[in-house]
Amino acid sequence: MDPAGAAHEHGGDLAAARRRFPGAPEPFIDLSTGINPQAYPVPPLSPDVFARLPERAALDRLNAIAAKAYGAPSAAHVVAAPGAQLLLPLVAALTPPGRAAVLSPAYSEHSRTAALAGHAVTETAEIARLAEADLAVVVNPNNPDGRIVATEALRRLAGALAARRGLLVVDEAFMDVGPAGTSLAGEVGENLVVLRSFGKFFGLAGLRLGFALSGLNNVARLEASLGPWAVAGPAIAVGTAALADAAWIEATRRNLEKSAQRLDRLLVGAGLDILGGTSLYRLVRTQRAPQLFEHLCRAGLLVRRFSYEQTWLRFGLPGDEAAWERLGAALILPASW
């Protein structure tokens, strides 16, 4: 592994899939990400949103609404950024170069960006080892397997790290569909950063909007690095509307859960073992994962595979009936399979 290298595989690259499988039916369907395919409806945007520099007052309103939606102590504990991804190296640099430990396997960018910030990075499956680090990273719920670390275990870890001036980063990119009461957003401070992603749950990943929730000193340092206009006008406008739309949020949580159960039925029906996931994706294990990946690609369905675990495939949610039917048909595997 080369955590500092720039080249990492990610989901979402339909163009590459099309090049490799030119005979696949169109539209090629992207199930390789954990992004809600039923996006929040983008409201009409005023020309000023594109033309003018975003004003501080608009950003403050967004941060206040985000604080409420995510359960942060206050708007002053919130930093908005052009995607949570861009925050990763800045958050890793909040603590001086030292030892970083990432609860793994998890979203691979945490190891890469911690190394970029000068840390010696360890990937470990044992949460106890995180307490020895200067920077500890937990993705919760985890991507790709949906593992949830018990809130009490996270609190103990945060306490142990704080006692040694270590920093705990909890990446809650998928917490919008996580179990109630498991977010640490309400407990952030100088030794605890919670990251939240806007684009996944709201299905608007192209907007680029994410948040760090932390103590006031960390917030000031992150804002100094991001500078005065990091978040685009369209992201501020749409984010402010969407995060305040409690009815849409609640209905979407329920709909995603139903969709994930429908996905489970297809996967189980195909004889696949489901390792875990969230309502936005499911992770399956099969010895024939490479063959299944290619079979699905030939059927115009891109799923996510993993260089570090070749028996895994992650399935996102189909976005419409045509996509559900294509997936259902492709998962009726030949008897010889």
Q: Which is nearer to a copy of itself, 105 or 319 (CB)?
A: 319
Strand order in the sheet with 273-278: 273-278, 281-285, 312-316, 304-305
- Residue 137 or 157: the one with the smaller Cβ distance to a copy of itself is 137
**How far is it, in rounded angstroms, from Cα 204 to Cα 235?**
9
Residue 63 in the binding site for a copy of itself (CB under 8 A): no
| Residue in 168, 220, 221, 177 with CA at minimum distance from that of residue 195 | 168
CA atoms of 286 and 169, how far apart (whole Å): 32
Tokens of 168: 């705990």
Segment interacting with a copy of itself (CB under 8 A) among 9-17, 119-127, 145-153, 173-181? 9-17
In the complex with a copy of itself, which residue's Cβ is closer, 273 or 320?
320
Residue 143: how many other CB atoms lie within 10 Å:
24
220 binds a copy of itself (CB under 8 A): yes
Nearest approach, Cβ of residue 215 and a copy of itself (Å): 15
Residue 84 or 289: the one with the smaller Cβ distance to a copy of itself is 84
CA dihedral 223, 71, 210, 106 (to 10 degrees): 110
| Distance, CA of 75 to CA of 334 (rounded, Å) | 55
Identify residues 226-285 at the interface with a copy of itself (CB under 8 A).
226-235, 238
Pick between residue 13 and residue 187 the one whose CB is nearest to a copy of itself.
13
> Rounded to whole angstroms, how far apart are CA atoms 160 and 130?
10
**Residue whose CB is less far from a copy of itself, 23 or 47:** 47
User: Is residue 308 close enough to count as binding a copy of itself by CB under 8 A?
Assistant: no
DSSP string, 48-114: HHHHSPPPHHHHHHHHHHHHHHHT-S-GGGEEEES-HHHHHHHHHTTS-S-EEEEESS--THHHHHH
CA 261 centroid distance within chain: 20
Residues of this chain, 85-104, that bind a copy of itself according to CB under 8 A? 85-86, 88-89
CB of 232 to a copy of itself, least distance (A): 4
Phi, psi for residue 260 in degrees, rounded to 5: -65, -35
Pick the stretch among 160-168, 173-181, 199-207, 267-275 that binds a copy of itself (CB under 8 A): 199-207
User: Using CB under 8 A, which residues numbered 18 to 37 contact a copy of itself?
Assistant: 30, 33, 35, 37
Q: Which positions touch a copy of itself (CB under 8 A)?
A: 4, 6, 8, 10-16, 30, 33, 35, 37, 39, 42, 47-57, 82-83, 85-86, 88-89, 109, 112-113, 116, 199, 203-208, 220, 223-235, 238
